Amino acid sequence: MKKNKKIIVIVISIILAIILLLLSAFWIITAIGKHQFHKDDTNISADLVEIEDESTITYDGKKYILNKNIVSVLVMGIDRDNVNQNLGNGNNGQADVIFVATIDTKTKKACIIPISRETMVDVNLYTGDGKYAGTQKEQLCLAYAYGNTAEESSKNVMTSVKRLLCGINISSYVTIEMDGVSKLTDMVGGVQVTCLEDIVNKKVQFYKGNKITLNGTNAMTYIQYRGEDLEANARRMQRQKQFLSALMNKTGNAVLSNFSNLTKYYNTLSPYFSTNVSFAQITYLAQNCLTMNFGDALDYKTIDGTLTQGEEWVEFTANEESVLQAVIDVFYIPKE
């Protein structure tokens, strides 16, 4: 009996040690993930902002502190197939959909900053052999073309987005080709929305005010269709916002109801996207997303500006104060 008890104690001790080791590894990994998201955190820089210290600014007479609980990822939808195939510097397509997604890991609130593809920003230019050739004021969507890999192209867009958003730290990205969005839409069984405008062509017949179910094929038409007038892309962004909220809610709830769906979605979509988000960062995000309510509406921060017809394309010039307010609302908290 004494010998049996001794064996039981040893087995229990080994099991507890393994559990402790696994928990320790998990917390170490999540800590690494958190650090990777925040290692380059710094205050924004703008003429209308006064820097108080390494984490405090004054804007419009009020003091704000950089929120260290905010995790941000730049998400891009690319208008081409096989995002990981190199077509040569300058020929790798455009960023058709661009937004910054953030999560406050303390409050569990998610926020989206949509950025118009037509936004005029300083874009880094590169020669055909990849040599830096200076900057040029161009539409943001064109920044993706400059790169010999999906990583280089994505980071070039990220550089321009950071310039637009006053230098706020955004170091992580997910780039997905539109076929991947189509696949995910089908995997969750489609999403239902109320049509925001008439879209009638050979592929679809959508009428404003009707409830429609978007599957993989017609969802792409709904979020990519664009007219010829100045406001066409602004209306398209509203449809993209509506569709994104519906898709994220349905996908998030599907994962929460059955966590194995996360692996299924990841494995199916992996050929369609490129990312620099590490396993540690994914673990950190997963830990924080487990307690989120995906049924809640996403918070959107709109950047206002002016639309003009350029020599060739429509140009959107962001309002500096609108940009500042969006960045402060998302990345800062008022100082008591």
Query: Which pLDDT band, with edges at 50, 70 and 90, does 212 fall under?
Result: very high
Mean pLDDT, range 75-100, rounded to an integer: 78
Q: Is residue 32 part of a domain?
A: no
pLDDT at 294: 58
Q: Is residue 244 part of a domain?
A: yes
pLDDT at 228: 77
Q: How many CB atoms lie within 10 A of CB 312?
A: 7
Mean pLDDT, range 156-184, rounded to an integer: 92
Q: How many CA atoms lie within 13 A of 255 on its CB side?
A: 20
Residue 203 neighbours by CB under 8 Å, 6+ apart? 217, 218, 221
pLDDT at 142: 92
Which residue is associated with the tokens 């087995």?
11
Q: Is residue 93 part of a domain?
A: yes
Q: What's the pTM?
A: 0.84
Q: Is residue 5 part of a domain?
A: no
Average the pLDDT over each of 109-113, 219-223, 227-231, 286-290 and give the range with the smallest value.
286-290
Q: Is residue 86 part of a domain?
A: yes
pLDDT score of 88 more than 80:
no
Q: Is residue 321 part of a domain?
A: yes
| CATH of residue 285 | 3.40.630.190
pLDDT score of 12 more than 70:
no
For residue 53, the SS3 value is strand
Q: Domain count of the chain?
A: 1
- Helix%, strand%, coil% for the chain, nearest 5: 40, 25, 30
Residue 187 neighbours by CB under 8 Å, 6+ apart? 264, 265, 268
Q: Is residue 6 part of a domain?
A: no
Query: Which pLDDT band, with edges at 50, 70 and 90, does 323 fall under?
Result: very high
Tokens of 83: 């995002």
Please give the residue range of the domain that contains residue 279.
Answer: 40-334
Residue 252 neighbours by CB under 8 Å, 6+ apart? 289, 292, 294
Mean pLDDT, range 196-224, rounded to an integer: 89
Radius of gyration of the chain (CA): 23
Query: Which pLDDT band, with edges at 50, 70 and 90, does 186 fall under?
Result: very high
Q: Is residue 28 part of a domain?
A: no
